[in-house]
């Protein structure tokens, strides 16, 4: 944003400019945009699924709908995404994963990316990891997912989750890929970093095939998830040709494809319109109701309201 504004343009085009920002960072962006347009009379166009925070700053609201556009008046307000949403209750199950003083530091840095954390991850409940950008939320997600080992402390799976693991390792980052994929499903902060094939249908079948499912069963799983998340029309498309919101839904679907006991999801709802947001939330609530442990890293206040059973707020660790 700074790189755009420093050129003093007459027209500023912003596509989801506050996605994945904490509330304070999002407010800074809106303030900077308002100051720029007020000072120079520049025209600004904002494309955003979360229109309400921008309403005090805009003169016109245009909604893209099937078959055309609809222009709204200045008093228009979007319908709440949570309206009419009914989710199954959360059961209370055993602890499947535990962070015990787990932290992470990159070599040569004076401040850790994640200060030591103690937190249980319980079956049938959603743990929401919150906090400002730079507090270590995504790093903790990678540790809980077994994709990175902590540099201090440990992440430990319970005996049930670790049953059948080679050499009875209880630390997920020591598990082989085939052992991990059936136990912990992961959604990365940036969905494009986790795609491995050239077609959506192949992407969704990959995990089940890797876990030992036969091809017909893997294809059926892929087709069910494509239908549920509104991606059937793109079944033969390359994942990198999707929009950001569609890529996010695909990344969530890949995490669900092997029915893991634990889901670790980094910003699972960004880039979604109201309908796809509700479908994603309902799908995650169903996983929770079947006894899955769900971990979400999020700035989404609506998601926290309807799905978070437990919360872990993180704060940035300052160096000396």
Q: In this prediction, what percent of the chain has a pLDDT beyond 70? A: 98
Distance of CA 296 to the CA centre of its chain: 7
Tokens found for residue 59: 């003169």
Q: What is the pLDDT of residue 37?
A: 76
Distance from C-alpha of 265 to C-alpha of 281, rounded to nearest angstrom: 12
Q: Give pLDDT, residue 194.
A: 87
Residue with tokens 């609530």: 285
> What are the counts of helices (DSSP H) followed by strands (DSSP E) for the chain?
10, 12
Predicted TM-score of the model (pTM): 0.88
pLDDT at residue number 40: 66
- Bridge partner list, 13: 45
Q: Specify the pLDDT at position 201.
A: 94
Position 318 scores a pLDDT of: 59
State which residues of the chain have pLDDT below 70: 40, 317-320
Q: Which whole-number Å values give the CA distances from 177 to 123, 183, 210, in the listed order?
A: 22, 10, 9
Please tell me the distance from the alpha carbon of residue 228 to that of residue 225, in angstroms, as a whole number: 5
The two tokens of residue 237 are 């498309």
CA distance 243 to 266: 18
Number of other CB atoms surrounding residue 240 within 10 Å: 9
3-state secondary structure of 178: helix
Q: What is the pLDDT of residue 171?
A: 96
What Å distances lie between residue 14 and 129, 164, 175, 241, CA to CA?
Answer: 28, 49, 42, 20
Tell me, what's the pLDDT at 211? 84
Query: Which H or E element spans position 187?
Result: strand 184-187
């Amino acid at each position: 944003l700074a790189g755009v504004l420093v050129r003093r343009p007459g027209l500023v085009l912003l596509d989801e400019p506050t996605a994945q920002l904490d509330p304070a960072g999002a407010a800074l962006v809106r303030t900077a945009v308002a100051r720029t347009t007020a000072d120079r009379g520049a025209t600004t166009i904002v494309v955003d699924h979360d229109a309400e925070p921008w309403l005090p700053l805009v003169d016109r609201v245009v909604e893209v709908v099937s078959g055309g556009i609809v222009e709204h008046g200045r008093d228009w307000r979007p319908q709440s995404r949570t309206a009419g949403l009914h989710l199954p209750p959360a059961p209370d199950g055993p602890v499947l994963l535990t962070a015990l003083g787990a932290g992470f530091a990159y070599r040569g840095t004076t401040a850790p990316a994640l200060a030591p954390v103690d937190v249980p991850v319980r079956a049938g409940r959603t743990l929401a990891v919150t906090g400002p950008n730079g507090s270590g939320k995504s790093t903790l997600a990678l540790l809980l997912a077994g994709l990175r080992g902590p540099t201090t402390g440990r992440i430990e799976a319970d005996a049930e989750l670790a049953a059948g693991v080679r050499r009875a390792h209880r630390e997920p980052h020591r598990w082989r890929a085939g052992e991990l994929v059936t136990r912990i499903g992961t959604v990365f902060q940036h969905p494009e970093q986790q795609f491995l094939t050239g077609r959506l249908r192949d992407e969704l079948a990959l995990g089940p095939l890797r876990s030992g499912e036969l091809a017909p069963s893997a294809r059926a799983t892929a087709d069910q998830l494509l239908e549920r998340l509104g991606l059937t029309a793109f079944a033969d498309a390359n994942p990198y040709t999707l929009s950001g919101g569609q890529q996010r839904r695909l990344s969530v679907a890949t995490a669900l494809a092997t029915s893991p006991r634990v889901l670790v999801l980094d910003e699972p709802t960004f880039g979604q319109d109201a309908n796809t947001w509700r479908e994603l939330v309902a799908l995650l609530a169903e996983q929770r109701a079947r006894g899955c442990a769900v971990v979400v890293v999020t700035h989404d206040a609506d998601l926290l309201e309807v799905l978070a059973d437990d919360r872990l707020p993180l704060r940035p660790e300052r160096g000396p």
